[in-house]
Structure 1
Amino acid sequence: MSEVLPILYLGPASGIAAVTTTLGSGYQVLSPATTPDAVLPLLPQVHAILDASMKVPLRQADLDSAVHLKLIATATTGADHIDSKALAARNIPLLTLKGQKQVLNELTPAAELSWMLLMACARHLRAANRHVEAGQWDRELFPGMLLKGRTLGLIGCGRIGQWMARYATAFGMRVIGYDPYLPEGEWPATIEHTDLDTLLQNAHAVSIHVHLSDETRGLIGAREFALLRPGAILINTSRGARMCSKASRPFRTAACGSMRRSMTTASSRRTSAASVRMRWTSC
């Protein structure tokens, strides 16, 4: 009788059946709660990790205990929560979606989330919803921002940025973009090429879509925040580390007090808690 190999699946419960069916009877799918306390004790027995949650960091000390580990696959383009150097030292492959253009070009959830957040902020949806839930109805408190004729600034004009440009164009917005890594020959016709300072100074809404690296960490700091126009909306559905949380504090205070420079950063599990709080009162 052949050995049944334990495989660790980290992700939503809705994916367990698909993983189990795909792998077949030769594998036992372990699907604990996605917390370090539940996951890390299982590492010594697993032969592969399928990560669709990104909630549990896997550092060298953790990976050293995974003595049977032969593969990690993560359903993301970035994997900064996994110690890739520790894996490389043991010749263990780390598979991500980075470079899988045929698959990625058809995936729009991140762009849809970003556009939803932009619209929610433009219409003060969260505050208006709480207002109605409290039994009130004063429309004058939430006039919102008309998107037609306004300017969307995209920091990062790759796959997600280009979907954002399509949505903005459909709403009648002008789209400007900054991306020093996108070749000139691949620049989208729907996005006007500009530099970062000009983008921040002119955009009514800014949306960030870049990978986390040493170059992009802290990309938006005190200087960049100060360039934003009053009333600008800032969406960050990339990693929270792209923005300096200390630099954002004065602007968070302004947003809570007078909404002169109302901004938001929001994401799924990838954005830092400090970033998520930026516009909790005014959206």
Structure 2
Amino acid sequence: MSYRVLVSDKLAPEGLEILASRKDLELHDRPGLSAEELLEIIPEFDGLVIRSGTRVTAEVIAAATRLKVIGRAGIGVDNVDVPAATRRGIVVMNTPGGNNTTTAEHTISLLLSLARHIPQAYASLTNGKWERSKFTGIEVAGKTLGVIGLGNIGRIVADRGAGLSMKVIAYDPFVTPETMPLDAELVSLDDLYARADFVTVHVPMTNDTRGLIGTEAISKMKPGVRIINCARGGIVDESALAEGIRSGKVAGAALDVFVEEPPLGNPLLEMPEVIATPHLGASTGEAQVNVAIAIAEQVSHYLETGAITAAINMPALTSEQREVLGPYLELGERLGSLASQLAANEKGAGAGTPVKVGIEYRGDAADLGTKTLTAAILRGLLRPILGDDLNYVSAPAVARERGIDVEEIHSSKRSDFRNRVSVKVEFAGGSRHDVAGAVFASRFGRIVKINDFYLEAVPEGIILMLQNRDVPGVVGKVGTLLGVNGVNIARLELASDGDSEMAVSLFHVDD
């Protein structure tokens, strides 16, 4: 059987050669397609290979009736509607690690260029001017570098900053002082803002990080701070940054990414305090070859054998294993996400930082591939902060890097169900949460325990969870409130705890 693969962004020749050499693949190299052209031809293809230029929207996925896999040559998948792809059973792959060093080095390049006004001085010189005094810069040695996010790229940036004799401070909610692998000081976000001379962000784009560097954050920073963003456009609020520069609070900014790319008419580009590059963080020959080869191999292997590598939305499994494990993986990821969300509602330092995870597999679940199930649980637990870039391959590694103690217990004894997966998480803030689930009829996942409450809840869609005193009238009042505001309740599950006289209600509401 022949599979048709579309490459819609420019890919290094080494990657194209791999795809073209596979006898079961038919390669179509069409970089630069418009959105309309992609929508028109996508029904003809089984595989799609992209970089950051192609936007794979829900509309594109709906039209892609043959599509089986989307391969992103790079890390970020914010240009792919991953939930829409998952609903269609389309595997979304990325290439984690292929451009970490490249992006970190670009960050340091921008930092030094910002400190010494190198782009502005070059432009002045090529215009026939000799303005030495105008471009007096600052030394970076002895200055404080604030790194937000200690993932792979953030750690390299911190290491390079220390090599420049900078004082490195860092914020990452999933790193504790005991697991800090760098010669850096772990601080709170507010402390980082107050102390850093340079602030650089290295976090994924999530609902929590969108606009992270905004008006409030800038108001907490030192006068004369310099801000660098090589992560994702929108993490730095562009309007707030422009106002910070106009007010004199921000001495300068270096940007490689923007909300809209290309950033035509962006007022930041008209400010002499701003230097910018056109999303070049991963643009080195070495990085382009690395990610091109990796994604070509991954897409080829999946189409030819069903083998999955570095998938965002599915584990590394054969097609037969995936059919059996699928319901358990979905349940496990949602159990992890539930535990994370329960902790996110709490206050205090480290409230949402997991330090220990205990997973118990009982009955039929203990006989399955629990290594993969544990990866699914960890992805669900860590994804609310680390974002959708985290996959089944990287989640266990990230947990180890952050010193999270993960323990598995297997038992062939059945409890109230043929199978049962229990997840107990301890957080740095001192809280503990215990959730459990089961798969019915080998297909249907259910949440059967939330802390002290036993129930049978469907973990799908949008759920409003309410914990309250077990007294008459609460459910009715909530239902009335939702109804008045035009919110329809699709399903409702209730549970009570006689000992504490408390109850929990799960309201499933329509989109």
Same fold (TM over 0.5): yes
Q: Does 1:208 align with 2:208?
A: no
Which segments of 5 or more consecutive residues in structure 2 lack a partner in the other structure?
276-511
> Any residues of structure 2 matched to 1:23-172 within 5 Å, and which?
23-34=21-32, 35-51=34-50, 53-97=51-95, 100=96, 103=97, 107-172=100-165
How far the C-alpha of 1:95 sits from its partner, in A, is 1.2
Alignment of 1:2-41 (within 5 A): 3=2, 5-13=3-11, 15-22=12-19, 23-34=21-32, 35-41=34-40
Q: Contact (CA 8 Å) 1:76, 1:96: kept in 2 or not?
A: yes
Aligned to 2:210: 217
Q: CA deviation at 1:158?
A: 1.7
Q: Which secondary structure does the structure 2 equivalent of 1:241 belong to?
A: coil
Does the aligned pair in 2 maintain the 1:263–1:279 contact within 8 Å? no
Code of the residue aligned with 1:95 in structure 2: it is: M
Q: Is the 8 A contact 1:78 1:96 kept in 2?
A: yes
Would the aligned equivalents of 2:7 and 2:28 in 1 still touch at CA under 8 Å? yes
Counterparts in 2 of 1:65 and 1:177: CA distance versus 1, 3 Å? same
1:181 is aligned, of 174, 184, 190, to 174
Using the TM superposition, give the Cα deviation of residue 193 of structure 1 relative to its aligned residue in structure 2, in angstroms: 0.6
Q: Which moved more, 1:225-234 or 1:170-179?
A: 225-234
Aligned amino acid, residue 47 of structure 2: A
* Paired letter, 1:263: G
Give me the CA root mean square deviation: 2.4
Quick one: distance in 1 between partners of 2:13 and 2:8?
9
Aligned residues: 270
- Aligned equivalents of 1:113, 1:160: Cα separation in 2: 11
SS at match of 1:242: coil
Deviation at 1:40, TM superposition (A): 2.9
Q: How many Å separate the matches in 1 of 2:57 and 2:239?
A: 26
- 1:228-267 equivalent positions in 2, closer than 5 A: 228-254=221-247, 261-267=250-256
Cα offset for 1:59? 1.2
Deviation at 1:12, TM superposition (A): 2.6
Aligned AA (2:48): I
Q: For the residues of structure 2 that align with 1:215 and 1:266, how far apart are their CA atoms?
A: 20
> 2: CA distance between counterparts of 1:270 and 1:96?
21
State the Cα distance separating 1:236 from its structure 2 match: 0.8
8 A Cα contact 2:5 2:28, kept in partner: yes
State the shift of 1:107 in Å.
3.4
Q: Which amino acid aligns with 1:20?
A: E
Larger deviation: 244-253 or 194-203?
244-253
The 1-side partners of 2:92 and 2:231 are apart by: 21
Residues of 2 paired with 1:168 and 1:276: CA distance?
30
Q: Deviations over 1:64-98 (max 9, x none)?
A: 1111100111123331211111111121111123x
* TM-score normalised by structure 1 residue count: 0.86
Q: Write the distance in 2 (CA, Å) between the matches of 1:245 and 1:209.
A: 17
Q: Identity percentage over the alignment?
A: 24
Contact kept in structure 1, 2:211 and 2:237, CA below 8 Å: yes
Which is strand-richer, 1 or 2? Answer: 2
> How many Å separate the matches in 2 of 1:185 and 1:270?
36
Greater displacement, 243-252 / 265-274: 265-274
Q: Give the C-alpha shift of residue 191 in structure 1.
A: 1.4
Q: Deviations over 1:236-278 (max 9, x none)?
A: 1111121223322312334xxxx66223141257776388926
Q: Classify 1:158/1:17 alpha carbon distance in 2 versus 1 (closer, same or farther; 3 Å).
A: closer
Q: 1:260 to 1:173 in 2, by over 3 A?
A: same
Contact 1:237/1:267 (<8 A) preserved: yes
Question: Structure 1 stretch 88-97 or stretch 147-156: which is displaced more?
Answer: 88-97
Alignment gaps of 5+ in structure 1: none
Cα deviation, residue 124, structure 1: 0.6
Identify if the C-alpha distance between structure 1 residues 62 and 233 changes in structure 2 by more than 3 Å, giving closer, same or farther.
Answer: same
Following TM superposition, by how much is the alpha carbon of 1:231 offset from its aligned partner in structure 2, in angstroms?
Answer: 2.0
Structure 2 counterpart of 1:96, one-letter code: N
Deviates more, 1:180-189 or 1:38-47: 180-189
1:181 offset after TM fit, Å?
1.9
Structure-2 change in CA distance of 1:18 and 1:95 (3 Å): closer
Q: Which residue of 1 aligns with 2:508?
A: none
Cα 1:119–1:157 change in 2 (3 A) is same
CA–CA distance in structure 1, aligned partners of residues 80 and 178 of structure 2: 34
Structure 1 pair 42/33, CA: closer, same or farther in 2 (3 Å)?
Answer: same
What TM-score do the two structures reach when normalised by structure 2? 0.49
CA distance in 1, matches of 2:125, 2:170: 37
Larger Rg: 2
2:9–2:54: 8 Å Cα contact kept in structure 1?
no
Q: Which amino acid letter does the alignment assign opposite residue 220 of structure 1?
A: I
